[in-house]
């Protein structure tokens, strides 16, 4: 919300951003448009794999004098990684600024703001294993948010008034210091093993975004005929915690806007289940997940078939 404002100074010069452009697969906190008016917000399409349509981005920006673009580094549901460096080139050629929601990236992929070519970048403590309630907005030295959300104090260089949550910030720093030491290759191996197992158990299963670069710790899949609302309960009864769509929407079982933007049929999207791996995930955990999937899919698909015959 702090970054998504028309009031962004560049090099000490005030030039209100006239439009905000976001991809159709952004997190709801970005899709809401921040402090831009609804009529000044435009969503941009993605392809079937969930990657931003770069041609559509270029065409959209041609109609804006001072655009602000917000695109996530990696999707929180599918794990699909966006071509941020290419996006940055297009945005800067249109005299725009690029904000990157990099919350899913640290410890898993490169999140260097200079390498990405971003102008502003958001991070969150709890996604690194740190405490909840702390985050960071990183920006180029010549950029300043001219209209802070919380006013009345000079804390945080005038960007956010109020006493800092020192304990949470310290925890955030500690988590960030070891984030790069996460066993990325190990997680990627476990993820690939899960996906191979899913296809062996249910050959008709669809793994979303599997043909493009993704985070090493995220898998979003669906088995035709298996609904997420019953699958999640069944997994839980088997001792496995998974979610439908993003983790922050846990408990809400409804078709995800991400899969809708990717053109996935509603019936299939309603069965999407997300598996997320972490530093403590073991090979035994993967075996338990696949054993649970065998039980869950056998039970639920049999019930679906019987129900279909009865209908």
Residue range 249-296, pLDDT digits in tens: 545 556 689 999 999 999 999 999 999 998 889 999 999 999 999 988
How far is the C-alpha of 89 from the C-alpha of 71, rounded, in Å? 13
Given a cut of 70, is residue 5 above it in pLDDT? yes
Burial 81-101 (b: 16+ CB within 10 A, else e): bbebeebbebbeebebbbbbb
Report whether CATH 3.40.50.300 matches the domain 184-310.
no
pLDDT band at 161 (very low <50, low <70, confident <90, very high): confident
Residues in the chain: 311
Instruction: For 213-224, write each residue's pLDDT tens digit.
Output: 999 999 999 999
- Helix axis angle for 228-237 and 283-310, nearest 10°, is 130
Neighbours of 308 (CB within 10 A): 9
Burial 35-57 (b: 16+ CB within 10 A, else e): bbeeebbbbbbbeeebbbebebb
Report whether CATH 3.40.640.10 matches the domain 8-179.
yes
In this prediction, residue 152 carries a pLDDT of 82
How far is the C-alpha of 22 from the C-alpha of 232, rounded, in Å? 30
Contact 237, 295 (CB under 8 A): no
In this prediction, residue 4 carries a pLDDT of 92
Cβ neighbors of 132 (< 8 A, separation 6 or more) are: 125, 126, 168
In this prediction, residue 149 carries a pLDDT of 79
111 is catalytic: no
Given a cut of 50, is residue 212 above it in pLDDT? yes
How far is the C-alpha of 57 from the C-alpha of 55, rounded, in Å? 5
**All CATH 3.90.1150.10 domain ranges in the chain, comma separated:** 184-310
**All CATH 3.40.640.10 domain ranges in the chain, comma separated:** 8-179
Q: Sheet of 8-10: strands edge to edge?
A: 13-14, 8-10, 143-145
Of 1, 150, 177, 248, catalytic: 248
In this prediction, residue 155 carries a pLDDT of 80
Given a cut of 60, is residue 48 above it in pLDDT? yes
What average pLDDT does the segment 132-141 reach? 92
Instruction: For 295-307, write each residue's pLDDT tens digit.
Output: 888 777 655 544 4
Instruction: For 73-101, write each residue's pLDDT tens digit.
Output: 999 999 999 999 999 999 999 999 999 99
Given a cut of 50, is residue 135 above it in pLDDT? yes
Angle at 223 between CA 227 and CA 307, to 5 degrees: 50
Given a cut of 80, is residue 247 above it in pLDDT? no
In this prediction, residue 154 carries a pLDDT of 78
Radius of gyration of the chain (CA): 21
For the chain, what percent of residues have pLDDT higher than 70?
92
């Amino acid at each position: 919300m702090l970054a998504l404002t028309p009031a962004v100074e560049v090099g000490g010069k005030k030039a209100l951003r006239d439009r905000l452009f976001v991809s159709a697969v952004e997190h709801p906190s970005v899709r809401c448009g921040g402090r831009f008016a609804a009529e000044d917000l435009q969503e941009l399409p993605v392809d079937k794999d969930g990657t931003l349509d770069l041609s559509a981005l270029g065409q959209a920006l041609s109609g804006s004098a001072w655009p602000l673009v917000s695109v996530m580094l990696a999707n929180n549901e599918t794990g699909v990684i966006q071509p941020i460096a290419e996006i940055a080139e297009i945005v800067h050629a249109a005299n725009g600024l690029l904000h990157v929601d990099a919350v899913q990236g640290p410890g898993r992929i490169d999140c260097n703001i200079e390498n990405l070519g971003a102008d502003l970048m958001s991070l969150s403590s709890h996604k690194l294993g740190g405490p909840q309630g702390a985050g960071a907005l990183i920006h180029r030295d010549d950029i300043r948010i001219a209209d802070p959300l919380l006013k009345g104090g000079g804390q945080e260089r005038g960007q956010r008034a109020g006493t800092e949550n020192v304990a949470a910030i310290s925890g955030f720093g500690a988590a960030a210091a070891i984030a790069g030491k996460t066993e990325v290759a190990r997680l990627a191996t476990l993820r690939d093993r899960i996906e191979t197992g899913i296809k062996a158990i249910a050959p008709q299963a669809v793994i979303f975004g599997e043909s493009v670069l993704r985070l090493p710790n995220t898998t979003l899949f669906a088995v035709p005929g298996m609904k997420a609302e019953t699958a999640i309960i069944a997994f839980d009864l088997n001792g496995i915690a998974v979610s439908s769509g993003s983790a922050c929407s846990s408990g809400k079982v409804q078709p995800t806007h991400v899969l809708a933007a990717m053109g996935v049929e509603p019936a299939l999207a309603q069965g999407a289940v997300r598996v997320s791996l972490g530093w403590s995930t073991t090979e035994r955990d993967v075996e338990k997940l696949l054993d649970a999937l065998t039980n869950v899919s056998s039970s639920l698909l049999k019930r679906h078939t019987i129900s279909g015959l009865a209908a």
